Amino acid sequence: MNKDLTIAIGADHAGFEFKQQLLDFLKDTQVKDFGTYSSESADYPDFAHAVATSVESGESSFGILICGSANGVAITANKHQSIRAAICWKEELAETARTHNNANIVCIPARHISIELAKTIITKFLESEFEGGRHATRVNKISC
């Protein structure tokens, strides 16, 4: 993994345990942890907005968001103008999200995949590069 990247990470209570394990997995990378800091009930928009803002401002290179289904965090993050948050539950989806959609936040469904698969997805997401070309034309049409 590229050690020069800064990764913003956030999770609600359903993703807390995954986040804690991913922090250890990403220990050789610069990581900004936006919470939650326990498994007590928490509102996913609080963490999704914080991660999205960090990526949108350029403070972080990419983001990782984790909740039970990944839907709530993805919907919230995608409200930000320059964010392209992708729900990924397979390695191939993570690669396509980056290469075709220039996604800048990966959303992990903690209640539906294993932590080992989450690590594989995140590795693929961070190591894949946007292809540009015809994909850039399409990505440029996303914002209203």
Could you confirm whether 107 is annotated as catalytic? no
Q: Which helix (H) or strand (E) holds 18?
A: helix 16-25
What is the rounded distance in angstroms from the CA atom of residue 89 to the CA atom of residue 110?
Answer: 9
Q: Where are the beta strands (DSSP E) in the chain?
A: 6-11, 30-33, 62-67, 85-87, 105-109
Residue of 13, 49, 67, 107 marked catalytic = 67
Residue of 49, 80, 88, 100 marked catalytic = 100
Could you confirm whether 67 is annotated as catalytic? yes
Residues catalogued as catalytic: 67, 100
